[in-house]
Each structure stands twice: as structure tokens, then as C-alpha cells.
Chain A
């Protein structure tokens, strides 16, 4: 099996840097690491198709032995779609957990200090503006308020 050295190196760099980034506890870094390693795996699959040939479309005058192996490309395509979906979910999760981290603790202190509550609401205003989202913030503040007063 022949493989392009450049692609092998790129794959190794993607794997290495991805794993290194993921070693941190921060969720953002994990998402970035996942993207890097995910693409590294995609390259790995691509490398497994061997030496590049002509496009894998069978027709008149096309020698079957000269075409590129199409299966790894199908695999990659599927893997890319899956990775895209998962990344979208991860970003939503990231946003949500950051949101909770920002407002969750602030919300708990609303009773003690009005200033902090104002800060929290201000942050909320900066982050989101639509009516729906404001309602979500108020709900969040209310629930954490309840939790704070009835331990």
C-alpha cells in the first residue's frame, strides 16, 4: 500500500495536537481537540485507500484497477456528517454549561446582594437579547432562588 508522506505527517500532527489540547479540563479545549482528532481519523481512513487513482466512476474505457478505492471516501463522508452533528451539539452544550457557570452561581447570591443580581441581569442582557431568552434567564434565576432559600 502506498500513502502520501505529507498526509501521514498531517495526520500525525492533527492527532498529536488534538490529544495535547484535550488534556486540559476546559470543555472548549476538548471541543477543539475533538475536531482535530476527528479530522485526523478522517485522514487516517483516507490514507487507507492506498495510492490515488482516477475518480471512482465506472464507465466506458475506465479500467477498474486504476480507480481510487471509493469505500474509504464513503466512510469519511459519513464520519464528517456525524462529526458535524456532534460538534453542533457540543457547542450547544458548551454554551449551556458556560451559561450555567456564569449565572448559576450569581443566581444563588441574588438574595444577598442586589448589586450582584443586577450584574447577573446585565450579563444576561449582554449575552442574549430576544424575549424568549430573557424568559429563560428569569426562570433560571427563579429556580436557583428557590434552591438557595430551601437547602
Chain B
């Protein structure tokens, strides 16, 4: 079978590429070719896998080292994994091209580029591994690989601010990893397996109270990684200091790996344990509190980090609905959010280079100075704010419709759990919170647009506006740098990402159908189980 042989390559290629890139550290052009080539290959493989899996309907499972399923390492790709693989591969590729453009322009500036490519590829390998991991421990290894690489990328260059931001991020991530590992140990002690498909069957046999404890420990670990509300404090402090491409990857992908893990936890691992009320409340709080944080930020990078936290709430809401439509909308929203958040951070990088600052108090006249940059910012900003007809609007509408269906009882939710126990008023409240969050996002982004793009350069001195009365500068005071050129490669990569967000809108119909088929598989944990255990679980 050809598609089964392709699965391990998704992880193997980036790792081998990283080794090659490290050896070729002195030959920068070859290094660039290696890393772009590897990511392109992974994107092609992911597309092939998605096509094959969508046609066959279930997925592909590979047991490594010829050890049978519950003992050996299993790589399992179903529709959800394949969707995540292709979108993350495309995004990583886009950001890599952007980073290459930046690296070429700022030769020997603050970042030692020779270690950027290998680390970036290792990060990719970790992300891909997490998406195809068939057992919890392999998922943990995937997380650790991507986190270790992210520590290096975040502290690249080792300047004071980056070390300071990096320490917060690293300590928090270490805590979540320890939580995750303890959860694996406890789950193994309770069930005698770490295989996700096996767990799906075995955990259901445990008493509800034991399930609840294990479920909560695992959710805390993933919640920290996904930056869900009470566990999200670390994110806005650590992401903005990194170089623009690094922030873009972190913002777009790393939290979504956590969201992916939560989807798996809720639909396959703890299919019989119901925590939907908790997730619903947490989702609503994540949206509102995150976006209120965004309102007071003067720095666009910090503002975007807060919207990132806030919009994780939408995905948690969709997972908590646990109806087919809810999960469909969640999958679509994850894809939308990966691309749009990455694109906005890339554009911010361009704004920083072009305008010399990221603070709303110092930027002005960008529309007149660079209309094209304005377009590159305007489209994803409206998209994130949920303006029709963009994908952000479609995803949110999907989530709200799914919520309304569940609340009014027209869609039987909770077939995953032991019957949905979410009261209808709570769902309506979270929908209201979602609509409010969408509006405030739009407000925060249009305020930035008004100031940075529409305000004239000459108005900057002594500008006074009620809009700016509540904003606060970043802790480091929003460093002003000299304006630099914006190389065509960076602009080209950003344009490519903007086009990708538009394609998500244009092809929303087929994509939504695909997400729907993925969600149907998710609603039936037995599909995943029979994928790994074709002969049934003993």
C-alpha cells in the first residue's frame, strides 16, 4: 500500500532535512533549498494522503518496527490529521520563504541564520509527529520535539528581552509537559496502555470518577499548550518578542497543536466522559477575557497575541458542542485561524520594517506610503474580525448555527459523551459572547487601521483621541527601529498567505464538506479504533 509508506516520511523528511541543513550551515543557498524542498515534499505528501484518505473514507495506520498495535509505535492518519498536516505544511512553507527573504535582507544582523533552518525543520517534524501520533506517549514526544525547537527559536540571538520572554514561555511549557507526562503515567497505570485507540476502549470501562481525574489532568496539560483562559497568561508576554516569522509560526501553529490534542481527547480518548459544561464555560471566558486584553494594547503584536488567545475560545466552544456540525465548524475554524493569524503576524513584520515600529502611537500614514501593504493588512484583519464573506465569518456562522441547533434541541448533541449536560441558556450565552468577541476584535483591528494607515504622517505629533486614551504600551516601550527595506520575497510570501486565506473563502463549500466528513469520523470513535485495530481490540 503506497499511502501507508508515505506516513512516516512526514516526520522523517524534516528530521533528515534538519540534519542536512545543520551540516550545510555554511552554504546558505543549499540550506535554503533543502529546507524549502523538504517542506514542499511534506506538503505534497500531505495532499496525497488527504486525497487518498478522503476517498477511502477511514484513514491509514502504520505500525513501526513491526510491533503489533498496542505495544509498538502507531502512526494513524485520519481525515482530521490529514487536514491538519496539509494546512500546517503550507503555512510552514509560506513562513519559511518569508524568513528566507528576511534573512537575505538582514545578513548577519541579530539572528544567526545557520541554526534557524535546522531548528525550524525540527519544529516542523514535531508538529507533524503530534498530528499523526497514534499513542499518547508518541504525542508527548512530538510535543517535546516541537517545544524544544521553539525554545531555541524564541531565544534566538539571546538578547535581553528574548531571554526574559523565553524564560516565561519555557517554564510554563515545562510545567505543562510534566503535567502531560504525569497524566500518561496515571492513565497507563489505570489502563495498561498508552495507545489512543486502545485507550478509547479501555478508559470507558473505568469508573466515571477515575475517568474524570485522568481527563482533567490531561486537559490541563493540553489547555496550557492551547492557551485556554485560566492557563493563557503566558502567551501575550512571550510571543511578541521573537522575530516576526517565528512569532507567526508560534501563533498560527503551536496553540493549534494543543487544540488538536483537545479534539482528540474529547472525541476519541475520553469519548465516554463528559466535561462539555466545563469546556463551554472555559471557551466563553477565553473569548471574552482574551479580547478585553487586546483592547488596551498599543502594540500590534501584543494586540494580535490577545486576539489569538481569544479566538482559541471559539474552537473550544465548537469542541464542547460535540455535535457533528459543531466539530465541522471547529475543524474549519482551526484551518482558517492557522492561516489568518499567521498572515497577520507576517504582515505585522512588514509593518514593523516599513514603519519602524509596531506601536499604534507611532505609526501613521502607511496607506499613502504603501497601499499594497495596506491591502495585505486589511484583508486578513477583516477576515479575523469576521466580516462577510471571508472565512472567519463563515467559521463563526458555522459555530453559531451549530450552537443554536444544539441549544434548541434540533441537533442531538452529546452522542460522544454520556449525553450532553449543557443547559441551553449557557450555549446561548457563549454564542452571545462569541458575537461580542467578534465585534471587539473588529474594533481593535480597525482602530489600529485608522491610526496606522489612515492617519496622516503630519498628524502624529500631539495627536489626541478618545480611541487612544486606554491603550498601554508594551513593557519594553515599543522599540523604535530604523525603517528597513521590505524585500520582494517577504512581500511575496505574505501575498501568498493572503491568497491562501482568500482561497479558504472561495472554496469554503468543498472545505466545509471535507471538514464535515472529518467530523463524522470524529463522532464515531470506533472508526479511529478500527483504523488502528482492524481485527478489533482484544
- Interface of A with B (CB < 8 Å)? 1, 27, 30, 34, 37-38, 41, 44-45, 47-48, 69, 71-72, 75, 78-79, 82, 85-86, 89-90, 93, 96-97, 100, 104
Residues of A within 8 A of B155 (CB): 93, 96
Q: How many A-B residue pairs have CB under 8 A?
A: 66
Q: In the assembled complex, which residues on chain A have CB atoms less than 8 Å from the CB atom of B184?
A: 45, 75
Of residues 127 through 184 on chain B, the ones whose CB sits less than 8 Å from some CB of chain A are 137, 141, 144, 148, 151-152, 155, 158, 160, 163-164, 166-167, 170-171, 174, 178, 181-182, 184
- How far is it, in angstroms, between the C-alpha of A17 and the C-alpha of B153 when the chains are bound? 31
Residues of chain A contacted by B160 (CB below 8 angstroms): 100, 104
Q: Mark B68-97, 1 if CB is under 8 A from A, else 0.
A: 000100000000000000000000000000
Given contacts A78-B137, A104-B160, contact A45 B188 (CB under 8 A): yes
B163 touches A41 (CB 8 A): no
Q: In the complex the two chains form, is B170's CB within 8 Å of A93's CB?
A: yes
* Contact present for A45 and B181 (CB under 8 Å): yes
Q: Is the CB of A97 within 8 A of B167?
A: yes
B185 touching A93, Cβ below 8 Å: no
With contacts A89-B170, A93-B166 known, what are 10 further pairs, Cβ within 8 A?
A27-B167, A34-B174, A37-B178, A41-B182, A45-B188, A47-B185, A75-B137, A86-B148, A89-B152, A97-B163
Is B194 among interface residues, defined by CB-CB distance under 8 A?
yes
Bound complex: CA A75 to CA B188 (Å): 11
Closest 7 pairs (CB-CB, A-B): A48-B189, A45-B185, A44-B185, A97-B163, A41-B181, A48-B188, A82-B144
Q: Using known A-B contacts A45-B188, A78-B141, A89-B151, determine if residue A71 contacts B71 with beta carbons closer than 8 Å.
A: yes
Contact partners of A72 in chain B: CB under 8 A: 185, 188
Residues of A within 8 A of B164 (CB): 97
**Which residues of chain B are within 8 angstroms of A82 by Cβ–Cβ distance?**
141, 144, 148
A18's nearest neighbour on chain B, judged by CB, is: B178
Q: How far is the CB of B514 from chain A (nearest CB, A)?
A: 35
Give complex CA distance A144, B151 in Å.
24
Residue of A nearest to B145 (CB): A82
Identify the closest chain B residue to A70 (Cβ).
B71
Interchain CB contact under 8 A, A90 and B170: yes
- Establish whether residues B167 and A85, one from each chain, have CB atoms under 8 Å apart when the complex forms: no
Known: A30-B171, A93-B166. A38 touches B189 (CB 8 A): no
| Smallest Cβ-Cβ distance to A46: which chain B residue | B185
Whole-angstrom distance between the Cβ of A93 and the nearest chain B Cβ? 7
Secondary structure class of chain A's binding surface, majority of residues: helix
Quick check: B178 and A41 within 8 Å, CB to CB?
Answer: yes
Closest chain-A Cβ to B527's Cβ sits at a distance in Å of 26
Name the distance in Å between B140's Cβ and chain A's nearest Cβ.
8
Q: From A78, which residue of chain B is reached at the shortest CB distance?
A: B141
Can you report 27 A-B residue pairs in the complex whose CB atoms are below 8 A from each other?
A: A27-B167, A30-B171, A34-B178, A37-B178, A38-B178, A41-B178, A41-B181, A44-B182, A44-B186, A45-B185, A47-B185, A48-B185, A48-B186, A48-B189, A71-B194, A75-B185, A78-B141, A82-B141, A86-B144, A86-B148, A89-B170, A93-B151, A93-B166, A97-B167, A100-B158, A100-B160, A104-B160
Q: What are the residues of chain B within 8 A of A30 when measuring CB–CB?
A: 171
Query: What distance in Å separates the Cβ of B348 from its nearest Cβ neighbour in chain A?
Result: 23
Q: Map CB proximity to A onto B251-267 as digits: 1 under 8 Å, 0 otherwise.
A: 00000000000000000
Q: Is the CB of A71 within 8 A of B163?
A: no
**Could you tell me the distance in whole angstroms from the C-beta of B84 to the nearest C-beta in chain A?**
23
| Cα distance A78–B448 in the bound complex, in angstroms | 47
What's the least CB distance linking A127 to chain B, in Å?
15
Min C-beta distance of B146 to chain A, whole Å: 12
Q: In the assembly, what is the distance between CA of A7 and CA of B151, in Å?
A: 33
Considering only CB atoms, which chain B residue lies closest to A100 in the complex?
A: B160
Shortest CB distance A41–B (Å): 5
Give the CA-CA distance A93 to B169 in the complex, in Å. 12
CB <8 Å contact, B163 and A93: yes
A97 / chain B contacts, CB cutoff of 8 Å? 163-164, 167
In the bound complex, do residue B163 and residue A100 qualify as a contact, i.e. CB atoms below 8 Å apart?
A: yes
Shortest Cβ gap from A25 to chain B (Å): 10
The residues of A that contact B152 with a CB separation of less than 8 Å are: 89
B189 / chain A contacts, CB cutoff of 8 Å: 1, 47-48
Given A78-B141, A93-B167, A97-B167, decide whether A41 and B148 contact each other with a Cβ distance below 8 A.
Answer: no
Give the chain B neighbours of A89 by CB distance below 8 A: 148, 151-152, 170
Cβ contacts under 8 Å, A90 to chain B: 170
Chain B neighbourhood of A37, CB < 8 A: 178
Give CA–CA (A69, B186) in the complex, Å. Answer: 15
Question: How far apart are the CA atoms of A79 and B170 in the complex, in Å?
Answer: 17
Q: Within 8 Å CB of B181, what residues of A?
A: 41, 45, 79
Chain A residues near B174: list those with CB within 8 A: 34, 86
Whether A41 pairs with B185 at a CB distance below 8 angstroms is yes
- Point out the residue from A1, A48, A71, A85 that lies within 8 Å of B148, measured CB to CB: A85
A47: min CB distance to chain B, Å:
7
Measured in the bound complex, the distance between the Cα atoms of B174 and A38 in whole Å is: 9
